[in-house]
Amino acid sequence: MKTLKLTGWMLMLVVFLACGNRLGNRQEHDPHTMCAKEYLEAGEAALETDSVLQGETLLRKAIGMAEQEHDWHTCYIACQRLAQSLSWSNTEEALRLAKQAVKVFEEHPDDERNHIILLDFAGTYASQLAYNSDDDYTEALVLTQRAYKLAAKEQQPDLMCQTLTSLANIHWAMEDYGQALHEAREAERLPTPELLQGTLQVLARCYLSCDSLKQAEATYRRMEPGDDIHAAYIVQSNLAKIAVRRLAPEEAEEAIDSAFEEAEGFYFKALEQKDAYYQAALQQERENERLAYTAALHRRTFIGLVVAFAILLTAAVWVLRYRLRLVRQQRTYETAQHELEKQHLLQETARHRQQLNQAQEVVRFLQNFILQRSEVVRKLNESTHRHISLNPKEWADVERTLNAIDGNRFALLREQFPMLKEEDVQLCILTRLQLSNRSIGNIYGLTISAVQHRKLKLKKDIFGETDPDVTLEQVLNNQNAQTDKNQ
């Protein structure tokens, strides 16, 4: 009897450890245990992947959680990040959040450098709101001047340069070009290498507004845009304007040619960087799949050992307690064997299912590889760096290629939704090709916000999807899956 009790206690201990391990794994992924700092990190990661609504929602949760936890550092950082995300879509809300961040900091002081940065951000949003609403810039000046005085008091040259540049921008918007030029000159004496290009750009603009063409040209020529295509365009376009204002068409032509040459060089360099990134991402994906497979194998092995140990203990208990009942013991043994065969069959089924999923992944990879070899798709991939226009034949070619790969997805989509316009189908094609909002914006000459609005409108008006967290790509995939199921 003592042996039976000891065996029973050992069995209970093994089951308890296995259950505890599974509960521990569940708790590690429980979203209700997240703290404010984790919400902040998750929100920033969502914004980096272009999930704007999800990122803003997580940042709002981070603010509320930080207030409950009295984590004031995370609170004002989350306010600042959310304000930065809303700065173009809702400038008034961005200014309110920036002021809230300043208020939280001043009530719970932290690193004084952060105080200066928060004031400078608030001044920037205030000036942006004043510009959009054609209002006065008093509040923007007050906030930015406070930031400059604190930077000067703390002897922070980089922040002094940054706040002076902000003041120059505000006075330039107020058309007080003389004061703007004075502040831009003061900022020029203080810049760090990271701030030099922005400071020179503001200084050159002030010179140009004051009709100091010679100084403006010299300042623009001091700028080194590097890989920044937007900055290179500003430099070359303004040099061309200066040349035209001087009635020197030849210099303007040279500046324009130089701009195109630099843009072409940036394009080829970007292609090389993209290829390197693709190779690195592919290698990392393969490594992640290998690690996930190894972890799953170890987990299944551990569970198998636990089950086998439990079966052995159970069999030992039955042998000790029912040694005189041989018939029932034989029946129990046959039942145990049947269960083992059933478990083996389930494992084989799971293994075949996994092999099928891996085969489907290979098929999808080959489909994407074939798609990337298309000349039209290569042309679309260039949209990250310059405007690209496709003729109707090229649109038809890429749609025909996608129909061949995806089982007539777009042909069925046109048949199911006859109200789709051609530009709607083209937007669906670009979304299927997994082009970013920035790339689609460059193709149509739109901002990222405008592309997001077009996707949202198409999602709501045509497909009837009102959930903002569901992307257009998910809607298209759901429609394709529904079509396959009906067939």
User: pLDDT at position 385, please?
Assistant: 57
Same domain, 456 and 383: yes
Q: Residue 470 domain-assigned?
A: yes
Asked if 352 and 435 sit in the same domain, the reply is no
Q: Are residues 411 and 467 in the same domain?
A: yes
**Is residue 414 assigned to a domain?**
yes
pLDDT along the chain (487 residues), means of 10: 48 46 42 80 87 88 91 91 88 90 90 89 88 86 90 88 90 88 86 82 87 86 80 82 73 60 61 60 68 85 90 86 81 84 81 62 52 62 63 86 85 87 87 83 82 87 83 82 68
Same domain membership, residue 478 and residue 394: yes
Nearest-angstrom CA–CA distance, 384 and 229: 11
Q: Classify the C-alpha dihedral 427-431-437-438 as positive or negative.
A: negative
Here the tokens at position 259 are 């701009």
At 279 the pLDDT is 61
**Is residue 438, in this structure, part of any structural domain at all?**
yes
What pLDDT is stored for residue 87 in this prediction? 85
Q: Are residues 399 and 436 in the same domain?
A: yes
The answer on 473 and 430 residing in a single domain is yes
The amino acid at residue 141 is L
Same domain, yes or no: 394 and 432: yes
Distance CA 348, CA 350 (A): 5
Burial 344-361 (b: 16+ CB within 10 A, else e): eeeeeeeeeeeeeeeeee
The pair of three-digit structure tokens given for residue 268, joined into one six-digit string = 């080829």
Give the pair of three-digit tokens for residue 161.
């340069």
Contacts of 230 (CB under 8 A, 6+ apart): none
- For residues 367 and 462, membership in a common domain is answered with no
- 458 domain residue, yes or no: yes
Ramachandran area for residue 420 (φ above 0: left; ψ -120 to 50: alpha; else beta): beta
Of 325, 350, 373, the residue at which a domain comes to its end is 373
- Cβ(79)–Cβ(121) below 8 Å: no
**Is 363 part of any domain?**
yes
Exposed/middle/buried for residue 49 (C-beta within 10 Å: 0-12, 13-18, 19+): exposed
Q: What pLDDT was estimated at residue 291?
A: 81
Q: Is 23 within the bounds of a domain?
A: no
Distance between CA atoms of residues 124 and 8, nearest Å: 71
Q: Total structural domains in the chain?
A: 2
Structural domain contains residue 216: no
Whole-number pLDDT of residue 23: 38
**Final residue of a structural domain among 330, 349, 373:** 373
Domain limits for position 366: 340-373
User: Do 450 and 418 share a structural domain?
Assistant: yes
The pLDDT value given to residue 75: 92
Instruction: Write down the residue that tokens 């809607």 correspond to.
Output: 475
Residues 407 and 482 in one domain: yes
Listed residues 351, 373, 395: the one ending a domain: 373
End-to-end CA distance of the chain: 64
116 neighbors 154 (Cβ within 8 angstroms): yes
Contact 81, 114 (CB under 8 A): no
Same domain, 396 and 462: yes
What is the per-residue pLDDT for 481? 75
391 with 473, same domain: the answer is yes
Domain membership of residue 356 (yes or no) is yes
